[in-house]
């Protein structure tokens, strides 16, 4: 009996130690990633971001503009065949105005809103993750495109999961995998992030992102951080 009890206690002790080592390793990776992106103070101070770039899809180059107010709202504009298309997502909902679907704005599908709301967090999935109700676990080490990466599993408060591959040398996120449910369709999306650059105030961002199986690539040409944003751009206009 004493032997069994001793083995049980030993087993529990080993589990506790291993869990502690994993947590320490995860936090170490997360902290190095945050430092690589500009540091805690830079990420904590992110209030807004304005981005310009080109989206390549099916052989077309589409001019893109994006306004983001941290944890509040996002507006994306892109020009297709001479018409300006708008998509807006806030913490309370979303709307879109797509001329090819009619002249009037319309409320965005709730599943689409939910899928896009994760982008409202300018600091990213790993910054202050515990306070945001997320858990992060280290799933091992993998080689991606010849580079060693740490595979991190991020579980959000709502149960949704994001897989991140953090470069073991730069501590930038090289790849992320998500499962999207929108408008009755489900899809696994892999996003590759590269060509990291730094703004004048020291914030680091990926200047190139591509997504599969959608087949899109976005090349960023301009990023402005913490410039004033007029909140009225997120308000759905009245129908004509």
Q: What is the pLDDT of residue 14?
A: 43
Going from the C-alpha of 234 to that of each of 37, 76, 80, 93, the distances in angstroms are: 28, 10, 21, 11
pLDDT at 237 over 80: yes
Q: What is the pLDDT of residue 216?
A: 87
Chain CA centroid to CA 153, Å = 13
* Encoded tokens for 65: 């503009």
Who contacts 128 (Cβ-Cβ below 8 Å, separation ≥6)?
Answer: 44
pTM, to two decimals: 0.83
Q: What is the pLDDT of residue 77?
A: 93
pLDDT band at 18 (very low <50, low <70, confident <90, very high): very low
pLDDT band at 10 (very low <50, low <70, confident <90, very high): very low
pLDDT at 11 over 60: no
pLDDT at 68 over 80: yes
Show me where the domains of the chain are located. Answer: 26-234
Going from the C-alpha of 46 to that of each of 201, 221, 227, the distances in angstroms are: 11, 19, 10
Domain 26-234, classified CATH 2.50.20.10, yes or no: yes
* Encoded tokens for 168: 């073991």
Residues 51-69: what's their mean pLDDT?
92
Pairing of strands 185-198, 147-155: unpaired
Q: What are phi and psi of 183, to 5 degrees?
A: 50, 45
* Encoded tokens for 70: 């941290």
Q: What is the pLDDT of residue 114?
A: 84
Chain CA centroid to CA 172, Å = 13
DSSP characters over 164-199? EEEETTT--EEEEEEEEEETTEEEEEEEEEEEEEE-
Distance CA 62, CA 55 (A): 5
Residues 133-143: what's their mean pLDDT?
92
Distance CA 62, CA 52 (A): 11
Residues 204-233: what's their mean pLDDT?
92
Interval 42-52: pLDDT, tens: 999 999 999 99
Who contacts 95 (Cβ-Cβ below 8 Å, separation ≥6)?
Answer: 88, 105, 106, 107, 108, 236
């Amino acid at each position: 009996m004493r032997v069994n009890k001793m083995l049980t206690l030993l087993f529990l002790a080993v589990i506790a130690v291993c869990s502690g080592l994993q947590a320490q390793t995860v936090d170490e990776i997360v902290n190095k990633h945050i430092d690589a992106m500009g540091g805690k103070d830079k990420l904590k101070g992110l209030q807004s971001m304005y981005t310009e770039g080109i989206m390549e899809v099916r052989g077309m180059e589409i001019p893109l503009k994006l306004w983001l107010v941290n944890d509040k709202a996002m507006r994306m504009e892109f020009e297709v065949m001479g018409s300006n298309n708008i998509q807006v997502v806030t913490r309370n909902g979303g709307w879109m105005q797509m001329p090819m679907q009619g002249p009037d704005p319309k409320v965005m599908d709730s599943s689409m809103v939910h899928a896009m709301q994760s982008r409202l967090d300018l600091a990213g999935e790993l910054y202050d993750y515990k306070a945001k109700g997320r858990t992060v676990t280290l799933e091992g080490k993998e080689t991606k495109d010849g580079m060693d990466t740490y595979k991190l599993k991020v579980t959000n408060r709502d149960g949704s999961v994001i897989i991140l591959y953090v470069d073991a040398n730069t501590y930038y996120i090289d790849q992320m995998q998500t499962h999207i449910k929108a408008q009755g369709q489900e899809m696994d999306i892999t996003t590759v992030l590269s060509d990291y650059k730094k703004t004048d105030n020291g914030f680091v961002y990926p200047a190139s992102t591509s997504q599969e199986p959608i087949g899109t690539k976005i090349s960023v040409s301009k990023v402005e951080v913490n410039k004033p944003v007029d909140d009225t751009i997120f308000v759905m206009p009245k129908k004509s």
